[in-house]
Amino acid sequence: MSLSQQLAEYISAAFTGLWVQSHEHDDALAELARMCRDNDWRLAVWDVERGLHLPGQANGQTADAGGNDPLAAIRSLNAVASADSSALLVMVNAHRFMQSAEIVQALAQQISAGKTNRTFVVVLSPLVQVPTELEKLFVIVEHELPSREQLAEIARGIAVEDGELPEGAELDTVLDAAAGLTRYEAEAAFSLSLVRHSRVTPEAVWELKAGMLKKSGLLSLHRGTEDFNTLGGLASLKAFCKRSLLQTGRANPLKRPRGTLLLGVPGTGKSAFAKALGRESGRPTLVLDVGSLMGSLVGSTEANIRQALRIADAMAPCILFCDEVEKTLSGVANSGQTDSGVSARLFGSLLTWMNDHVTDVYLVATCNDISKLPPEFGRAERFDGIFFLNLPGPQERRVIWDLYLRQFELAPDQKLPNDEQWTGAEIRSCCRLAALLDVPLVQAAQNVVPVAMTAAESVERLRSWAGGRCLDADRGGIYQGNGAKSTARRKVSRNPLNN
């Protein structure tokens, strides 16, 4: 439903206080002017630079009504109204003046009086900051970002020559890249692409979106060159994610994949897999650092997580990568005593989004110790699967060795060190040190101490917990553990001489 249709319904129902959240004021004002023209309503627009003016009448100007004083503009609304027509006063960026007691009181009186003389106050602002005195008087209306059809129309208006606009699947890729941009940003991105490449391509769009994410400070965009060919092992996990992402459809949101939770020993490739998945599936990878969402002001943390998830929804289809999630969510149980419940509310917002969102956002969360996470985080329908990334086996280690020997330009026929219980990160470290120090792999291996030795108890406890509870990222099916000890009770003879 368009903005003008929403507002027309509220005005017909006599909602006299309307707060429109929008980052595209020109487009919103154009829709409002068109709506008022179609319904023969009077429209007055106020902003701090131009003051009060009537669009479409005498070059948009009226007699002096207090200049740029918002209080005078509110008081002049009754003079704009007539007995046989409704009148709208649109106040652009009026949230900047809501700290004034006089303006708040004038708005309250005008909104209440609007029921009888059919006058309506519309606040047009990118933020929703309704004072407590006006909370019950305003209705919040969101000006939605352009749809795929609108983005395609904008692209056709920019790329008017033959061959400048792609078709078919390539056009879908461009529209996927432009999702989440405003109309102004989309026009700029398409124009930049034409200047650089003489045709509309996704690269310029992604560059603009990366800058947009930097401005928010809540998410970052990863555009690396890694794919599954640069990641050894994890055959079952790769096949599962690639199949679920490639077969997703836009028509039915219920069929869209939700994501995966990756549990594993440090260094087994959890973060590398999440970054490679984006390029492999042709989706951008958004990195969500939950720790950066923590704000110093009351309520800012909750607002940050909601804003970050809204940005992710707007940029769908995409991969949302949350690394080492247990580090920030482990204190949820004691949040009331440690941080006044901020972590608990942040966790609740994340759970609600994971359960209810219908956008094509694929969440990849990694953790090294799932016992620190609340049980509701990993229940069914939060993720498509919980995978355990074990220490690579002999075949997987051989693939990883070949991969890094090629990357670091090392001799492929040299003797390999004893790599039993090594992770992929430790194999890479050995190859990097061999190339850096110009020594054989066996000598470089003397500087590598595997995590299975430095944290043997933690690794074994993690592998024991995952047995029967997680999916095997390498071989598929349920992970069965590695030589788990039997839990059967030892039989004790009744004769003490035999014990």
For 419-429, what is each residue's pLDDT tens digit?
A: 988 999 999 99
Q: Is the pLDDT of residue 313 over 60?
A: yes
Residue 483, Ramachandran bin (φ over 0: left; ψ between -120 and 50: alpha; else beta)? left
What pLDDT shows up at residue 282?
81
Domain end (from 108, 142, 176) = 142
pLDDT of residue 482: 61
Q: Determine, yes or no, domain membership for 358.
A: yes
Here the tokens at position 347 are 């966790």
In a domain, 469, yes or no: no
CA angle 424, 427, 428 (to 5 degrees): 90
Residue 186 has pLDDT above 70, yes or no: yes
- Please indicate, yes or no, whether residues 159 and 121 belong to a single structural domain of this protein: no
Provide the residue count of the chain.
499
The shares of helix, strand and coil residues in the chain, as percent rounded to the nearest 5, are: 50, 15, 40
In this structure, the answer to whether residues 188 and 234 fall within a common structural domain is no
Is there a single domain that holds both residue 190 and residue 333? no
Note the Cα 107 to chain centre separation in Å: 36
294 and 385 belong to one structural domain: yes
Q: How sure is the predictor about 98, in pLDDT bands with cuts at 50, 70 and 90?
A: very high
- Residue finishing a domain among 216, 237, 268: 216
Same domain, 116 and 19: yes
Q: Is the pLDDT of residue 340 over 70?
A: no
Assess whether 30 and 156 both reside in one domain.
no
**Range in 109-113, 120-124, 284-288, 304-308 the model is least confident about:** 304-308
| Same-domain pairing of 22 and 156 | no
The model's pLDDT over 435-449, given as tens digits with 9 standing for 90+, comes to 999 999 999 999 999
Q: State the first-to-last Cα distance of the chain, in angstroms, to the nearest integer.
A: 80
Boundary-marking domain end, from 389, 421, 439: 389
pTM for the complete prediction?
0.73
Residue 249 scores a pLDDT above 70 = no
Assign 338 a pLDDT band (cuts: 50, 70, 90).
low
Q: How many domains does the chain have?
A: 4
pLDDT value for 449: 92
* Band of pLDDT at residue 67, cut at 50, 70 and 90: low
State residue 68's pLDDT score. 82
Q: Cα separation of 208 and 195, whole Å?
A: 14
Report yes or no on 66 lying in a domain. Answer: yes
Q: How confident is the model at residue 122 (pLDDT cuts 50, 70, 90)?
A: very high
Average pLDDT, the chain: 84
Taking the C-alpha atoms of residue 284 and residue 359, their distance in angstroms, rounded to an integer, is 14
β-strands 51-53, 42-47 pairing: antiparallel
pLDDT at 298: 58
Q: Give the per-residue pLDDT at 489.
A: 40
384 plus 239 within the same structural domain:
yes
Residue 257: is its pLDDT beyond 50? yes
Q: Is the pLDDT of residue 194 over 80?
A: yes
- Count the neighbouring beta carbons within 10 Å of the beta carbon of residue 116: 9
Query: Worst-scoring range by mean pLDDT, 90-104, 139-153, 327-341?
Result: 327-341
| Cβ partners under 8 Å of residue 211, min gap 6 | none
Note whether residue 211 is domain-resident.
yes
Number of neighbouring beta carbons within 10 Å of residue 430 = 26
Q: 167 vs 196, 344, 463, CA distance in Å?
A: 19, 47, 49
pLDDT over 70 at 295, yes or no: no
What pLDDT does residue 442 have?
Answer: 93
Label residue 480 by pLDDT band (50, 70, 90): confident
CATH number assigned to the domain comprising residue 289 = 3.40.50.300
Q: Rounded CA gap, 67 and 65, in Å?
A: 6
Report CA-CA distances (Å) from 414 to 394, 402, 440, 443: 17, 11, 8, 12
Residue 492 has pLDDT above 60, yes or no: no
Is residue 472, in this structure, part of any structural domain at all?
no
- Residue-level pLDDT at 343: 73
pLDDT score at 224:
75
Question: Tens digits of per-residue pLDDT, 364-417?
Answer: 999 888 777 878 888 888 899 999 999 888 888 998 999 999 999 999 888 999
405 and 382 belong to one structural domain: no
Q: Phi first, then psi: give them for residue 139, nearest 5 degrees.
A: -110, 135
Mean pLDDT, range 156-180, rounded to an integer: 84
Is residue 464 within 8 Å of residue 457, measured between CB atoms?
no
pLDDT attached to residue 89: 94
Residues 337, 450, single domain; the answer is no
pLDDT at 477 > cutoff 60? yes
* Whether residues 98 and 247 fall in one domain: no
The domain of 400 spans: 394-454
**474 found inside a domain:** no
Do 287 and 368 fall within a single domain?
A: yes
Query: pLDDT tier at 236 (50, 70, 90 boundaries)?
Result: very high
Q: Could you tell me if residue 71 is inside a domain?
A: yes
| Identity of the residue numbered 407 | Q
Q: What is the pLDDT of residue 57?
A: 59
Between 97-111, 251-265, 394-408, 413-427, the lowest mean confidence (pLDDT) is in 251-265
Q: Can the peptide bond before residue 257 be classed as cis, meaning omega within 30 degrees of 0?
A: no
Structural domain contains residue 481: no
Least confident piece of the model among 153-167, 239-253, 438-452: 239-253
3-state secondary structure of 121: strand
- With a pLDDT cut of 70, the percent of the chain lying above it is 89
Structure tokens at 259: 């994501």
